[in-house]
Amino acid sequence: MGRSCLHQLRILSGIRPTARRSLSISRLAGFLFLLSFLAFVSMQAGAGNQPGAGDDNRVVWQNPTPQLSQNAMRSLLAAKLGGLEIGGYMLVIVRLDAGKAMEVRALMSSGSLVADQEICQSVLDHWVFNPKATGAYKFPVLLPAGL
């Protein structure tokens, strides 16, 4: 009886350090993966917002979120409270000529005509496009946070 208890104790003591070691290694590996992923994402986000940085074939170089008036924000909130599903973005078609936006139209509405007009004007005024880009392109536009 004493021998089987001692044998079980040896088995248990032999398993526990190995399990702890493998658990700590997997936690460390997960942490390192997360850290490298976050570093990669932050480098891509920083490089993507500067003209000429990264891929020269990209069409959009800067696409800030539009700043909407109080009236447009109220109409979006009213649409949301009325049961309209607002996905947090809208789709626009932008006609470019040598990197200059000539025309912007809403392809998928934000839920408010006033907001759609302001968003299209914001894309026309504030977005920066590749000077080599010409033609019609479809882009998602993020709506301001809090909607």
- Structure confidence by residue, pLDDT tens digits, 92-142: 999 999 999 999 999 998 888 999 999 999 999 999 999 999 999 999 998
Total domain count, the chain: 2
Domain containing 87: what range?
Answer: 60-142
Helix axes of 113-126 and 70-81: crossing angle, nearest 10 degrees:
130
Query: Is 122 within the bounds of a domain?
Result: yes
Query: Is 101 within the bounds of a domain?
Result: yes
- pLDDT, one tens digit per residue, over 29-46 is 666 665 565 555 555 444
Tokens 């290694």: give the residue: 25
Same domain, 64 and 112: yes
- pLDDT, one tens digit per residue, over 81-97 is 888 877 788 999 999 99
Same domain, 111 and 65: yes
Same domain, 67 and 128: yes
Query: Is 55 within the bounds of a domain?
Result: no
Query: Is 53 within the bounds of a domain?
Result: no
Same domain, 43 and 90: no
Same domain, 39 and 65: no
Among residues 52, 53, 44, 112, which one has the least CA distance to residue 78? Answer: 112
Q: What spatial distance separates the first Cα and last Cα of the chain, rounded to whole Å? A: 70
Give every CB contact of residue 77 below 8 A, 6+ residues apart in sequence.
147
Give percent of the chain above pLDDT 90: 39
The half-sphere exposure of 28 on its side-chain side, counting CA atoms within 13 A, is 6
